[in-house]
Amino acid sequence: MKNIIYIVIILLTIIGCNTSKPKFSNDEKQKTGSNDTIKIANEELNYEIIIIEPGFDFWLHSTAYPRGYNSQTYLENKNNIFVMEWNNRVRQPQLYPPNLYEMIIDYSPNVNYGYEVNYLLYNYMIYFQNKYNQKLNGYVPLR
């Protein structure tokens, strides 16, 4: 059986929501293209991340720190914190917008997902917090 981490955020479910306004300009929205689905997999562990979010691919290549900027340990520590808070919010739809926090992220601190999976998850969490004006834990870098 294949273990999979899925982060599937579909902007179409968010368009009608007025919980917060994106901090990104219309110019950036226009620069998004057909490459709005990103899939990164660790074949050795049979884990993958699938992110469907218009604008994320553009942001990742234009704004995020490059690969290697942060260590894998740093990314893992931040991802543990972000995912724990994310999952708490999924479980409390009466307190947090259920159209932003749709599904649990299956992320275990005891599994080595590899650098690429951690890099992508971390950067999605930063993108998500900045775009939707959310704070999953403390300071959110503005990139």
81-104: b (≥16 Cβ within 10 Å) or e:
ebbebbbebbeeeeebbebbbeee
What does the pLDDT look like over 66-99, one tens digit per residue?
Answer: 999 999 999 999 999 999 999 999 999 999 999 9
3-state secondary structure (DSSP) of residue 94:
coil
pLDDT at residue 64 greater than cutoff 90: yes
For residue 141, tell me if it sits in a domain: no
Mean pLDDT, the chain, whole residue set: 77
pLDDT at residue 100 greater than cutoff 60: yes
The predicted pLDDT at position 42 comes to 65
Model pTM greater than 0.75? no
Domain total for the chain?
A: 1
The predicted pLDDT at position 5 comes to 52
DSSP H or E stretch at residue 48: strand 47-52
Contacts 24+ apart (CB under 8 A), 55-58: 55/11, 55/24, 55/28, 55/29, 55/127, 55/131, 56/124, 56/127, 57/32, 57/33, 58/28, 58/31, 58/32, 58/33
The predicted pLDDT at position 14 comes to 34
Spatial separation of the C-alpha atoms in residues 15 and 119, rounded to whole Å: 27
For residue 53, tell me if it sits in a domain: yes
For residue 72, tell me if it sits in a domain: yes
Cα dihedral sign for 77, 79, 81, 87? Answer: negative
What residues make up the domain containing 110?
A: 11-131
- Confidence band (pLDDT; 50, 70, 90) for 11? very low
Could you tell me which of 15, 62, 9 has the C-alpha nearest to residue 37? 9
Residue pair 111/67 in contact (Cβ under 8 Å)? The answer is no
For residue 140, tell me if it sits in a domain: no
Comparison of pLDDT for 141 and 13, the residue scoring more: 141
For residue 25, tell me if it sits in a domain: yes
For residue 137, tell me if it sits in a domain: no
For residue 88, tell me if it sits in a domain: yes
For residue 3, tell me if it sits in a domain: no
The predicted pLDDT at position 49 comes to 75
